[in-house]
Amino acid sequence: MKKENMFFLIMVLMAAVIAGATMGIVSSFDVIVDRINVMNSEVELHNKALAEAEEADTAATEKAPAENQAQAVAVSGASTGSINYSTTSDIMVVTAEEKAQITEMLHQLGMPQGGDYNQFIKDFQQRQNLPATGSLDSCTLRVIINKTTEQKARQQ
């Protein structure tokens, strides 16, 4: 087979693949748009649930002593590695003891005594190129643990 014929055949095959992929996307466009709308509505519902949980947490904090109360902290379902931030979140229950340990780690990273917990977390997330939500999520907690471990290793 001549080179010209082979080149022509490859070009025809590439055009067919591109045309087929385009037709597949166009024919599924309504399904894609519907799925995006469903995902957006799920995110809105989730954000409302988080806001209600934070309001409930604030109300509970005002009513009960911090030592005897488990505090809910928003956790985004983020994973490490290639840092994949999903749109779903879970609620992680943090006991007063765990909250104290986390606060101690934040103090080791530079949070002043009596400083604004959420603002420090938001600033920390920005410095670490994480989504700056101001809420302690699993990815942020993992980075905080890693940073404090690195500091302790350098001090020894």
71, 49: one domain:
no
Structural domain containing residue 44: 1-63
pLDDT band at 154 (very low <50, low <70, confident <90, very high): confident
71, 101: one domain:
yes
Condensed to tens digits (0 to 9), the pLDDT of residues 3-34 reads 889 999 999 999 999 998 899 888 888 888 88
85, 114: one domain:
yes
39, 113: one domain:
no
Beta bridge partners of 94: 71
Condensed to tens digits (0 to 9), the pLDDT of residues 53-95 reads 777 767 766 655 444 444 444 443 333 333 344 434 445 667 8
46, 75: one domain:
no
156, 83: one domain:
yes
Of 29, 48, 63, the position where a domain reaches its end is 63
Nearest alpha-carbon partner for 91 in 139, 49, 29, 127: 49
92, 105: one domain:
yes
86, 35: one domain:
no
Count up the domains in the chain and report the number: 2
What's the pTM? 0.43
Of 43, 63, 83, the position where a domain reaches its end is 63
Q: What is the pLDDT of residue 61?
A: 60
Of 31, 46, 63, the position where a domain reaches its end is 63
50, 89: one domain:
no
146, 95: one domain:
yes
43, 5: one domain:
yes
132, 153: one domain:
yes
